[in-house]
Structures are given as C-alpha cells and as structure tokens.
Structure 1
Amino acid sequence: MKPVSVTLVGSSPWGHDLHADDINLRPALALAERLGAPYNVIVPAGAAAPGFVDLDPVRLYRVPDGSRPAFLREARHMIDHGLRARGDVLMSSDPLAAVAAELSRTRRTTPHIVQIQGDVLDPGHEYGGPLKRAALAVVSRTAVRRASAVRVVRQGLRERAQRLTRRPVVHVASRVDTRMFAPAPAPCLKPVHTVMVGSLLPLKNHVTVLRAWPHVLEAVPDARLVVLGEGPARSRLLGLIRALGVERHVELRGTVPQAEVVSVLQRARVFAHPSWSEGQPRAVLEAMACGLPVLCSDIPAHREIVRPEAGRLLAPAQARDWAEAVTTLLTDTERARQLGNGARRYVSEHHDFELMIDRFADFIQGVAAEDSRRRR
C-alpha cells in the first residue's frame, strides 16, 4: 500500500508535556505507523508556546489563537505555507477546524476528511442560545457537504450525515486502550463507591448526581463520590455540595494524570455519567473497560454503547432515580459484578484501540487512493 501522509487540523490545544500514552499523541503515532508517512497536526497553542514540535513521525504545529478568527487565519496559513511537507489528505477534527481546512488553497488539490464527533449537525439547547446553535448547524452541515469523506463516531450520526452528502461516510467508533483501562489485576479495597469523569461544565450535568447523593447516604451512610475533571462550573458545584451538606462524602479532585484516572476507576464500584449531550464519550467507555457498571443519561450517544447487560439509562434530571440506581448497585454486589463484566466485554469487542486505529487507517488510505484515481 502506498504511504499516505496526513495533515490534521483541530481547534483544541494539545497538552504541554506530551508522552507516548497521551490521549492525542498516541493515536496520531499509531496512524502514522500504519500509514507509513509523517502525520502533521495543527492546533491552537493554548497555554503552550506557538511553534513546531518534532515528535517523529508526528509533526506538531502550535499556532497562535487569540480568537477564533485568529486561529482560522493562522491555521489556514500553516496548511498552505508553514508545513515542512504537505499531507496527501487533509483531516479536521471539528467544525471550526473544518472551516480552516476548506478555506485553504491546499484544499483545491487535496481530499478533506471531516470528523463529526458530537451532535453538531442538529445541536440542542446544551450547545448555547438559538443563534449559536444555528451557526454551528450551518457550519457543520456545510463542512459535511463539502467534504471528500466523513468519519463519525456513532451510527446515528452516520445516518444523519448520509442525508447531507453522497460521499463516503464511515463509522469509526471512539477507541479505548483495553490493556491500560482494565480491571484491577488483583482484588483490592474499593473505597471509591461512585466516580464521575469529565470537565466541570453545565453540559455534563454533575448537578443531578450531587442532588441524588443525600438520598444515597440514607441507604449507604458511608457512600463516597469522587469527581475527576476541572472546569468553570467548579464554584457552583462546590456551593451545591455545601448546601446539600455532603462535603464529607463528595470530592472534586480536579484534573489528574491518566494513571490516576485508571487507579480511581479500578477502585470504584459504579460509574455515573448524566450528561445532557455527548458525541461518543470516551470516559464512559474507559470505565466500562475497567469492568465498572455504568449509569448514564438516556441520550442518543449513550443508547448506542450502554446495553442492558452493561448498565442502565436514566432520565438526566431525575435525581431520585439516580439515587435509587446508585444504591441498588452499591448494595447488590453480584448484580454490579455481572454488569461490569458485560461492560468490559462490550468495549473489548467494539472499541478496542488497535481495532479502531486499523479501521481508521484503512479508511484514510481508501480516501487517498480514490482521490489519486480521480485525478489521473
């Protein structure tokens, strides 16, 4: 197979201190290996200094990002003029990045794969006010219509995207390293009764589980909730925790290294994820890979991955229902064990890292080959 180089554009910064297991770097390295060519990445600098980082075979270009228009301008310039070598395929990870790719001169002669990883084609109230939602929908749908090919993370998104384009639309699900995210190798004490993982944003709906916790404590007096993640809703959530009088039982631990995320999941009994909207939440899949029963909000993203043998779906705002579900799993250890085994089995079969990377690499090679045939 002919080597294929990629230029990926994303509108979210990569971490400052990158290592081989980094959530962004590892898949880029794996794709570069399978495609047999350099893998360019253009992202906002964020807290890091703008500039080039050689992570051979990944080439990371951090561009200034004082505003969205500034990022679009800098990313487009980098695509056309700043790369050491242009990619055979352009790829964008989100709608804003897709705009930068489509505005570039390089796009005229290079196929573009647009990735849809959330409900951006039909955004709901959780994405903001009416004008913001309308603008996001227009940008996202236009990107799909103009793309050479589209990758989606859910079957439901695939069906929606196929109504907008006749170009290939492939479902490549979120991937999980099932070797890293795995049940504890030996039985251990589980002082963490329930865990939540995700940015502290209103969209993630931590509020419902916090409001459920006093009811959980009525049945399980020592029940402990650990929340991993950071964000602008921290002060509001801390205020709610104090108002509910559950300070001794709820911990907002903030952002932690990946190894600690794994450790907490391995010591937990239940995973809760009450989000209002998701693309395909890796946090849920990672918890399932660790053998945890999962309680998730009843939304399209969760319906595709949370089977009855792995967990339960609940109305996002019904705190009493969440309290009952958490209590049941904390008190019925055999039921929790069965669901956890089912969760692990599902992720291993449908979301394994190596399997998904192979599928994605095959798709990229196919897009490049089709473009080459078309230009002969």
Structure 2
Amino acid sequence: MTRVLMYSPTRRADKGGVQRMMDDLERMLPDHDLSVRRMGPDETEETEGIAFHPTADATDEGTPTLAAIPKAASSAVNLAQVLRRERPDVVNIHFPTGVMSYFMGMRPFFKFKLLVSIHGGDVLRPTPQMKVHLPRFLRAADAITAVSQELAQTAQDYAPAIAPKLHYIPNGADADFWRPVDVPVIPGRIVSVGRLLTIKGFDLLIEAMKALPNAVAHIYGEGDERTKLQSQIDAAGLNARVVLKGHVSPDQLRTALSEAEVFAMPSRGEGMPLALIEALACGCPAVATDVGGIPDVLTQDAGRVVPRENVPALADALSEALSGAAHYTRQGARARAEAFSHTACYDQYAQLIHSLAARDQRGHAAE
C-alpha cells in the first residue's frame, strides 16, 4: 500500500477550508489503497496524527536566523525521526510555508515524492520574505495541485517552469451530506460561513446590512477578528440583526443553510471556497465576490457574483435575492454544487499520488 504523509502548518482545530479538505482526504484516500498519516502543529494521540511545530523564527520565512539555528536543528532531527518511522512514499504539504525547507532537505535521504497543494493565501498573499522563497519551493515539488484556475495561474507566474507538473483539482463537497433539509426557508435570513479574519470580508457584510433593514445575518465561524467584528456590530446598532454564531456542528450548519434565503460570501480573497459549494449543495443560492475560484463555481443559475470590496454592490445583490427578483433558484444552486463532487475531487488526488509513487528517482514511471 502506498504511504502518504500529509502536513499543514495550520491547526486542525481551526476548522477552515484547508483543514476540512484534509479531513476529507484523510477519510477517503484509504479507499484508494493509500495509507494516510497526518502531521501538524496540534496533532495528538487522540487525533491519531503526528505533532510537528517548528518555531516560527526558524521556519516561517525560509532560511533560519542565526539565533534560530539550534531550534531548527532540533526540528530537523524530529522530522528525520518521523520520516524514518513512517517511510512515506509521498509527502503532501498543504499551504506551503518556510517549513517546506525541512522536507526539501530530507528528501534526498528518505526518497519520498513531494506533492504541494496550494489553497489561496499561501500563493496569493505571501509575506514579503516568503514571496522570495516561493518560486524555489514550487520548483522543488514533484507535483503541485491548485484549487482554482486563478491560483494555478498565479503559481505559474511565480515559476513558469512548473507548468507540466501543475494540476487543477477544485475542492469538492459531499453532496450526500450537504443537501437540503426539510425545514421552512426563513424570509430575510442571510447566512455566511468562514474563519473570522479580515480576508473573509465579514466587516463588509456588516456594513451592507445597514441597507437591508428587513434582513437578519447569521455568521458562523471563529477567528482573531471576532472582538473587532462584534464592536462594529455594536457601534452600528445591528445586534438584533447580525449575530456571530461561532462554531456549530455540521448537522446544525446544514440546517442553517437550508433555512437561509441567501448565502453571502463577501471575501477579499479565496482559493476554492468549500463553504460556498456546501451552501449551494443545501439549495441555498449565493451572493459572492469575484475572487479566487468563486467565478468558476457561481454561475447565474445559482447566484450572483459582485465586485470585491464593493459594499453597495453587495447590498444590492443581497436585496435582489431577498426580494424574490433574482433569476436563480434553489434547484439551480443544488444542481451547480453537484458539478463539484468530492468523489471526483479525491479520485483525482488518489490518481496523482499513485502516479507520483510509481515514479523512479529520475521522475520516470517505474518499469
């Protein structure tokens, strides 16, 4: 059986799109004769993963500083011990950061193939120093997956030579689970989902709510911006109409999406937002900004795409959806989501991983 080690610097507990996609890969790839172990900063025996959390000054920006070298050496030893024990055929890094330099250094000794999966901010919004290292990291990969066409093109702009090993594999939702629940649609209900971060644009949705006096918005998720967003809600006097709901179970979220008249995604930047596909799968039409893979997903029979950071356009599109004047339907939303099947997505991942594992060290298919 082919052995896969999946690593991400993001915490499993953050419950963002990257983590949820990795959850699905971890669950589904074994059905394709792949043995999967997960590695990350908050893995424990309970999650059956492998903890690996190098210090930030040693890794986040590529080459360690002089003061960080002892810590970097310790992290390298820890990684070598894991690789010696697990003996992966393929290491799959999601959301590459400077930690990737450790894996690059270990590859000649442990002979694994390196699959890099890019998701959005890792390539679209790298730090200044990471931007310098990114072309080298991308060139070092044996294969690269990108969740949107925009992301694939941006990666290729950094390193044109990667084109032959770049694969567009959009995120997919489990349409068997994410389906309409038999509950009444609540007039005026808007639902939005995501980590509470500036990039997600929830401040723009709150601002747009001032122009929608008959609407109520429920925002699901947690993050560093919660206090700031709540202060904005308080200052605008919107406490009764904009509610930060926090994390809820998938069952509860599915019900919330089924009850909503419209799903809002006011993001300033995205890769291929799984939350959008899940909302559509629940039959909830969407209004979302023209970033990342959103235009690839949101066709006119499923919702409306609006310019990013344009509050009047966002408010107008939401008003249209709530008034019943929009041409898209709940049936159209569901049909569009079915084009982004998680089964098709993870079949492509499995095929790519098997093809990588079958290559010899010169990159040729094994005889």
* Corresponding residue SS for 2:349: helix
User: Aligned to 1:153, which of 147, 153, 157?
Assistant: 147
Q: 1:314 and 1:110 mapped to 2: Cα distance?
A: 43
User: Aligned to 2:199, which of 200, 203, 206?
Assistant: 203
**Pairwise CA distance, 1:278:** 0.8
260 and 65 in structure 1: CA distance in 2 versus 1, 3 angstrom threshold: farther
Deviations 1:27-73 (A, max 9, x none): 21211221x2421221002xxxx654575xxxx10234553537976
1:178 aligns with 2:180: no
Q: Do the aligned partners of 2:117 and 2:146 also contact (CA within 8 Å) in 1?
A: yes
Could you say what the CA RMSD is over the residues aligned between the two structures, in angstroms?
2.8
Q: What residue in structure 2 maps to residue 354 of structure 1?
A: 343
Q: What residue in structure 2 maps to residue 286 of structure 1?
A: 278
- TM-score, normalised with respect to structure 1: 0.83
Q: Which runs of 5+ in 2 are unaligned?
A: 61-71
* Corresponding residue SS for 2:280: helix
* Corresponding residue SS for 2:358: helix
Q: What residue in structure 1 maps to residue 63 of structure 2?
A: none
Q: 1:105 and 1:77 mapped to 2: Cα distance?
A: 14
Q: 2:298 and 2:95 mapped to 1: Cα distance?
A: 25
76 and 294 in structure 1: CA distance in 2 versus 1, 3 angstrom threshold: farther
Q: What residue in structure 2 maps to residue 322 of structure 1?
A: 314
For 2:10, give the aligned amino acid. Answer: S
For 1:82, give the aligned amino acid. Answer: V
Task: Count how many residue pairs are aligned between Structure 1 and Structure 2.
Answer: 346
Alignment of 1:1-376 (within 5 A): 3-15=1-13, 24-34=22-32, 36-45=33-42, 51-52=44-45, 55=48, 60-64=49-53, 67=56, 69=58, 76-83=76-83, 84-96=85-97, 97-105=99-107, 109-123=111-125, 132=127, 134-162=128-156, 163-165=160-162, 167-184=164-181, 186-190=182-186, 193-217=189-213, 220=214, 223-332=215-324, 335=326, 338-349=328-339, 351-371=340-360, 373=364
Q: Do the aligned partners of 2:89 and 2:111 also contact (CA within 8 Å) in 1?
A: no
* Corresponding residue SS for 1:114: strand
Q: 2:308 and 2:221 mapped to 1: Cα distance?
A: 19
Q: Which runs of 5+ in 1 are unaligned?
A: none
Q: Do the aligned partners of 1:205 and 1:275 also contact (CA within 8 Å) in 2?
A: yes
Query: Percentage identity across aligned positions?
Result: 23
Q: 1:143 and 1:10 mapped to 2: Cα distance?
A: 15
Deviations 1:92-131 (A, max 9, x none): 11112433321324566221111111154353xxx6xxxx
Q: Do the aligned partners of 2:290 and 2:305 also contact (CA within 8 Å) in 1?
A: yes
Q: Do the aligned partners of 1:229 and 1:254 also contact (CA within 8 Å) in 2?
A: yes
- TM-score, normalised with respect to structure 2: 0.85
